[in-house]
Structure 1
Amino acid sequence: MPDALTRLRGWLAEGDLSCTVSDALGRGGALSAAFRPVWAGACVVGPAVTVRTFGTDLSAVFDAIAAAERGSVIVIDSHGILNSAFWGERTTRAALARELAGAVIDGACRDVGAVRRLGFPVFSTAITPNAGLPGGRGAVNVPVQVGGVPVQPGDLVVADENGVVIVPQAQIQDTVHTVSTLLQAESLLFQTTTDAQSLRPEGDV
């Protein structure tokens, strides 16, 4: 997967990569539209380290950060809790110390100003000042469901201002190959035509 990650991270800088990845997955793979970047321009690609929280307990989030390898993305399933934050300045600083790539939270984030200043990509479904509490409960690197999509440890996260897409681990290599083909075809199309009919997506009649 290192080569796949290198290629995807190179394309990430060009913008709107999540859209092409979704196209490569048959126009699917995206989490719900509720997931938004905490700060404008945030984008990330990396393998998922999953977290299943328990109530408002954020202990497992810190456990995941400590266990994650460099370049990973923390993916948090908070069971729809929106009035307590599972990410903030402390988790951001801890993640940066571990050289992690970003975080995706099916739940809330806080300390938005600090997260933005630190330049750490975070995507969440809510913002709240309320902090989660420590309690020693929750689970790390277990199957979770975020935004209506199942996520396994090691699945690939691709996120930008359009939203968050999950690529199942078994499909990463094929998806990268398809993304490369789609990007080349689209670049050629945009260079050679402005005709409305030619710009219609394939299969659109």
Structure 2
Amino acid sequence: MTNEEVMRAFRSLLDDGDLTCTVSDALGRTGALSADFRPVWPGARLIGEAVTVRTFGTDLSAVFDGIQAAVPGSVLIIDSHGIRNAAFWGERTTRMAQARGLAGTVIDGACRDVVAISRLQYPVFSTAITPNAGLPGGRGSVNQTVQAGGIPVQPQDLVIADENGVVVIPQALASEILQRVHAALDDERKAFVLAAQGASVPPSNPRE
């Protein structure tokens, strides 16, 4: 399958709910960013290839560079080195990202303007919320390997997020993981039938 076909297949599963859980299972119960990542508004979900951003201190210049570099359907992954006292995302960046067709944003750091973002229904997952804004200074980088929630993320890795959190699939494994996800969903449907009959059905090893 082409990358586009794999992406389309994953996207078709997103609205069924809890896709991140099945993907994590397919990755050997790994792949999830830290539990600190939460959706800014209830029900937010996203899927897309990563455009990575590494900020410098509280300088958010690279965030704007990342938005400009992103193609429609991309997910911006912002590595702010865990800084939580300055926001790297808000209403202005949200409106820019929507205009360029981005699928959402994941921030290892803080967000602000959450009422506006909720109203705009743009998916944002962050580890903190603060009214303090970062300042532009012309530093940072785009589309290099970053760290987000303890997981290395490379440009074009597949990012999926829902109410359970955020998972990252290495781009080279996306097709294989899709096959495992379909197999896991089939097994789960069978297990649910047995569970409804009162049977105890422990989960199988996703790598087998």
Deviates more, 1:188-197 or 1:79-88: 188-197
Which residue is 1:45 aligned to?
47
Q: What are the ranges of 5 or more consecutive residues in structure 1 without an aligned counterpart?
A: none
- Equivalent pairs: percent with the same residue? 64
CA contact (8 A) 2:94 2:122 kept: yes
CA contact (8 A) 2:51 2:74 kept: yes
Structure 1 residue 141 and structure 2 residue 149: aligned?
Answer: no
Structure 1 residue 160 and structure 2 residue 145: aligned?
Answer: no
Q: How many residues align?
A: 203
Which residue is 2:121 aligned to?
119
Q: Give CA-to-partner distance per residue, 1:86-129, whole Å, 9 cap, x none.
A: 00000100000000000000000000001111110000000000
The offset of 1:80, in angstroms, is: 1.1
Q: 1:44-63 to 2 correspondence within 5 Å? A: 44-63=46-65
Structure 1 residue 24 and structure 2 residue 6: aligned?
Answer: no
Q: What are the ranges of 5 or more consecutive residues in structure 2 without an aligned counterpart?
A: none
The offset of 1:199, in angstroms, is: 2.5
Which residue is 1:66 aligned to?
68
Which residue is 2:86 aligned to?
84
Structure 1 pair 196–152 and aligned structure 2 pair: CA distance change class (3 A): farther
Q: TM-score of the superposition, structure 2-length normalised?
A: 0.95
User: 2:19 and 2:105 mapped to 1: Cα distance?
Assistant: 17
Paired amino acid for 2:18: D
User: 1:163 and 1:68 mapped to 2: Cα distance?
Assistant: 22
Residue 193 of structure 1 aligns to a residue in which SS?
helix
Q: TM-score of the superposition, structure 1-length normalised?
A: 0.96
Deviates more, 1:167-176 or 1:185-194: 185-194
Which residue is 2:37 aligned to?
35
User: 1:29 and 1:176 mapped to 2: Cα distance?
Assistant: 14
The offset of 1:168, in angstroms, is: 0.5
User: 2:35 and 2:202 mapped to 1: Cα distance?
Assistant: 24
The offset of 1:192, in angstroms, is: 4.0
The one of 102, 120, 123 equivalent to 1:100 is 102
Deviates more, 1:189-198 or 1:102-111: 189-198
The offset of 1:198, in angstroms, is: 3.1
Q: 1:174-193 to 2 correspondence within 5 Å? A: 174-193=176-195
Paired amino acid for 1:26: G
Residue 196 of structure 2 aligns to a residue in which SS?
coil
Structure 1 pair 163–196 and aligned structure 2 pair: CA distance change class (3 A): farther
Measured on the aligned residues, the alpha-carbon RMSD in Å equals 1.1
Q: Give CA-to-partner distance per residue, 1:139-183, whole Å, 9 cap, x none.
A: 000010010000000101010010000100110000111111111
